[in-house]
Every structure is written in structure tokens, then in C-alpha cells.
Chains A and B, each alone.
Chain A
Amino acid sequence: MEDLIIIGGGPAGLTAGLYAARSRLKTLLLEKLSPGGQVLLTDRVENYPGFPEGISGFELVERMKRQAESFGLTIQNQDVNQIRLSPSIKEVTTDKGRLETRSLILTTGATPRKLSIDGEERLTGKGVSYCATCDGPFYRDQEVAVIGGGDTAIEEAIFLTKFASKVYLVHRRNELRATRLLQERAFSQKKIEFVWDTIPNRIVGEAGVEEIELKHVKSGELTRLRVNGVFVFVGYDPNSELLKGQLELDGQGFVVTNNDLETSVPGVFAAGDIRSKLLRQISTAVGEGATAAFAAERYLENVT
């Protein structure tokens, strides 16, 4: 039986692991892909404190991982397919078997939200993408559309101008949600053309994306844009499917916690994007990871 299992190896999980290792808790961090989480999708991180020149997403999480491992954190490449929670014992089942632990920290993060429109799924990987740093270079000198109006949509649209000849930024309102600085940068980019008050209706193409059909939210008018790629950045869905019915989730599926990051089940904590919270960033994930590890340690001291 472990003292603590951490599910998810992004910044929140890695920080929780770092603190848990230093507290000498018998800890196991389970990560199904490779440590880093969503940070691995980003080209450059400019707003994580301590890096005035910015740092690549990959390098930042590489450092976090090395640091945690240097204090003895064990990270295992396992895919959790079932979680059973009770106040006394928490059971975690992976493809390698069943594990039991006295406390659990959920840091499973979030996944990019889909548009759920016609053609989206069929053409994913064939022009429909959720990662500009991955797929941008395939669109050299081509025209693409970016759907969204928040930080990610703007950052990715700007990144895409390195390759694409034109980037249509399609947003359902007439003003952006993104940070002011990012908005300024976007507006000064000649390759970005803004399409306001518009939502994507359908993605069209045979072997790959050929056009995107758009709908004006006020007039209802339908128009078409010839693009080779459609990049979707319309928010994130929590990775909480395994938790349904076992602890309190908010209306969108994010895990509800109190100030001490306790969930509705004693001994179970949550940190990072999976939580119901105001701001989802690397900086908040890290703070919560540390707090959750501390709270777990305190919990373990009180139950034994």
C-alpha cells in the first residue's frame, strides 16, 4: 500500500511529487504518456515566473521532472482505467494491475474541447488540429482558420503566422477574451484577419480540409472560407470521467475542492486544471500541487 498516489504528471502532479518526495512519503506518480501534460503542447512559456527570456514548454517540464526525481520521486508510465474511492482506502487500477493507497492526489488535467460540428472528427489529423506547435509547419504558405478568442487561440494564431500565408481568427463575439498584451500582438499581425460574431458550422473536405462553413451569430448568414487547416482552441474539458459519481464535480465536470484542496472524499485531493477554479495556468498548477502534497501529508499524520 502506498502513502500517496498522484495521478497525472503535468506541472501540478510533478510539483506534488516533488514535495511528497521531500516529505519522505511513500509516493507513486502515474502518467500515461510522458510527464509534462499540456505544457508539452506549447512552443514557448513566457509567463512562468523565473524565466525572463521565456523557456520552451518541453524544457520547463523536463526540469520539473528531473528535480522531482532527484529527491526520489518514482514516476511510472501507467494508464489508470479505474478509480474506486472510499474514506479508508483508495484503489487505482491500471493496465498493469490494482494499486492501493492511503491518500490520492488527482492531477489529471484537461483536454482541448471539440467543436462537435460536422466534419470535425472525420478530418482530425487531416486538417483539423488542436495543436499549432505540432501541425503548424504542415501549412507553409497555406491559409488556415483558428477558432477561438482566448489566450490559446491568440497565441497559436500568432505562432501559425510563421508558416501560414494567412490566418483567419474566427470568434463568436466581437471582442477577444485574451490577455491585453496578446491582443495587441495579434492586432499588429498583418497575416491575421479577424472574423467576428461568427461560429464554425461545418468543416468540408474529402481527403482533407478544403473549406470551413461559417455562421454569423447575429444574422444567421452562412459563408464559406477556403482553408487547408482548421485549428480549434475553444477551451478545455476536465479529464474527470473516472471520477463521475464518486466525488463532487461542478456543472462542467471539474473537481470541487476547498481552500486546502480537499475534495468531497477524505484523503483525496485535487490540483491543477482538473479543479474547479478561476485561473488555469502553470503557475497556479504548481502552487496547488505543493499545497495538495502538504495537505496529504497532514491527512496521513492525522489518520495514523
Chain B
Amino acid sequence: MADLLHVSDATFEEEIIKADMPAMVDFWAEWCGPCKMVGPAVESLAKEYEGKVKIAKMDVDENRETPAKFGIRSIPTLILFKEGKVAHTIIGAVPKGDIEQELKKLL
């Protein structure tokens, strides 16, 4: 979990909405088991798509505003952004292949 970019309510707009490339945000929390299931896949994809897709994590315990803004009521939730708009949402833990399929569509 060390290398991945962490975004907060304060930095979300700048880092994700105004990013100069497509982005994906992994909404997670410490107490969430399935988030840990999806964690390794997200980290691995972050390395593989470095420079092509900005992949970040947001802790929903520390940041309440952004999840509420996107109507998130369940985690893990992955939201993919293109040009500052929501392109796709994945709710629940899914295999890496499924996430990668959606990432490719952003490029």
C-alpha cells in the first residue's frame, strides 16, 4: 500500500478531476475485508499502467465528502474517470482481469 497515490477530499479535484490522463480511484477502508482482496490487483495495475492511467486510493473513513458526492454506499468501489467525468463504476471485489478490461476502455 506504500507506493500508491492517496487522495483526499481536499486533493480529489486537482488530482483526479483535473488529471491530464484517465484515472481510477479505489475507495477503501481499513475494516473492509473485500477491499483487501482487491488491493493487490489495484497496486499491480497501478505499476503496469503508470503514465497511462492515474490510479489512486481514497480512505472513506478519513474522507466522507467525496464518497458521498459519488453516492458510494458500498466498498470496495472503483470509479474510473475520463476527462474529469465518471466513465465506469465497479462495485464489490472483482478479479484483476475484470478491472483491467475496464481500464483498457479508458485508453
Point out residues on A near B: beta carbons under 8 Å: 32-34, 36, 39-43, 57-58, 77, 79, 95, 124-127, 129, 131, 133-135, 137-138, 207-208, 229
Contacts and interface: CB of A to CB of B under 8 A. Distances in A.
Given A41-B33, A133-B33, A135-B75, A125 B92 contact: yes
B37 interface: yes
B41 interface: yes
Interface in B52-107: 60-61, 71-77, 91-97
Nearest to A57: B33
Contact of B91 (A39, A40, A124, A207): A124
B41 A77 contact: yes
Interface of B: 29, 31-41, 60-61, 71-77, 91-97
A126 B33 contact: no
B71 A43 contact: no
Contacts of B74: 124-126, 129, 134-135, 138
Nearest to B44: A77
B33 A42 contact: yes
B72 A134 contact: no
Contacts of B37: 33-34, 36, 40
Contacts of A208: 71, 73
A137 B72 CA distance: 11
A36 B33 contact: yes
Nearest to A94: B97
Contacts of B72: 138
A134 B91 contact: no
Contacts of B36: 34, 36, 40, 58
Nearest to A127: B73
A79 B97 contact: yes
B62 to A, nearest CB: 12
B101 to A, nearest CB: 10
Contact of A95 (B29, B35, B97): B97
A171 B75 CA distance: 26
Contact of B39 (A34, A131, A134): A34
B34 A137 contact: no
Nearest to A229: B73
B18 to A, nearest CB: 26
B33 to A, nearest CB: 3
A33 B93 contact: yes
Contacts of A95: 97
Given A126-B71, A138-B73, A138-B74, A33 B33 contact: no
6 contacts: A33-B95, A34-B38, A79-B97, A124-B91, A127-B73, A134-B76
A127 B38 CA distance: 21
Nearest to A62: B36
B40 A77 contact: yes
Nearest to A42: B33
Contacts of B92: 125
